[in-house]
Amino acid sequence: MTVLALEIGSSRFAASRVGAEVGVDDIRQIPVPSVGAWDRCRELLLEVAGGAEVTGLGIASAGPIDMAAGVVAPSEVPEWRTGFGIAEAARKLFPKASVQLALDGVCLALAERNLGATRNVMDALVVRLSHHISGGVLVGGFVVVGRTGNAGHVGHVLVPGFDDRCLCGGRGCLEAVAGGLSAVRWAREQGWAGNSVSELVEAARVGEDIPAAALGRAGTALGRAAASVAALLDMDLVVLGGSLAEAGPALWKPLGEAVATHARLSFLPGLRVVPSQLGEVALLAGAGVLAVSAQGG
């Protein structure tokens, strides 16, 4: 039995086999292609399959998605913005495979529930801060999927005190302040000369003022959003991963201060925000859990 995991992310396409022996070195990845997206995706899947008969495939995709229809429409993939039937295409590629699709945030929550920080927790929020923001919600031990499969879009929770314009067309979304590309854009508007999320994180880590301020804004916004979601859903744990989560005190100090300021209800003082330990394999791990669970594994 060969089971594969596929990640359609905000900065990469990645694929791997699913198994206890699979590690970071077994992941195959490419930058998000501007053209020929399915062709490149198909090449990745065939490479990791290695000629074996594939019986299961889990797909973690940036949203929006239509889970029931098997359609993805991530803004990061120009050809797919109006919708691409990735589940049908995958079934044609692997006719004997059970193909399962879920939002990237749902897969993050599945990964943390089965392999990470929420294994012994019934209610939690899982957030990934990278180029964009992905989120998943765990309630009563179950990952919330939602009506269309898009539950967990915490990046579009409105954050008080901010009015930054979001790519969704709104203003004041968490994504518009704390998403990596948004933070880079804000820093450049203040005169910073860097260009990438990784540069911003490193510059903040070594104490450059503007990058540190950009990460400080992100931390404050994230802390306010986390306190709001925790109050709504009565949870006491937030798990934070992704490249921006590695920025150190520039992000984590204002985040903690915002949580302490706003999580004041009698059931919230214990609200914890902890770093994910799953690293860059988190989305693929969640896609693997999705695939294996569908097969009764």
Chain mean position to CA 141: 19
Q: Are residues 88 and 220 in the same domain?
A: no
Give the chain's domain count: 2
Q: pLDDT by residue (tens digit) across 91-146?
A: 999 999 999 999 999 999 999 999 999 999 999 999 999 999 999 999 999 999 99
- Burial of 231 by CB count in 10 Å (0-12 exposed, 13-18 middle, 19+ buried)? middle
Global pTM value: 0.91
**Number of neighbours of residue 114 by Cβ within 10 angstroms:** 16
For residue 13, the enclosing domain spans: 2-106+281-294
Bridge partners of residue 13, in order along the sequence: 8, 30
Round to whole Å and give the CA distance between 103 and 31: 19
pLDDT at 297: 54
Q: Is residue 84 part of a domain?
A: yes
Q: What does DSSP assign to residue 166? A: P
Q: How far is CA 179 from each of CA 113, 147, 156, rounded to the nearest angstrom? A: 24, 25, 11
Q: Are residues 169 and 269 in the same domain?
A: yes
Q: Is residue 232 part of a domain?
A: yes
Round to whole Å and give the CA distance between 7 and 211: 29
* CATH number for position 222: 3.30.420.40
Q: Is residue 114 part of a domain?
A: no
Q: Are residues 7 and 85 in the same domain?
A: yes
Contact criterion met (CB below 8 Å) for 9 and 104: yes
Which tokens belong to 148?
């269309």
Q: Are residues 167 and 199 in the same domain?
A: yes
Q: How far is CA 290 from each of CA 87, 106, 161, rounded to the nearest angstrom? A: 14, 9, 37
The confidence band for 293, taking pLDDT boundaries of 50, 70 and 90, is confident
Q: Are residues 253 and 144 in the same domain?
A: yes
Q: What does DSSP assign to residue 128? A: E
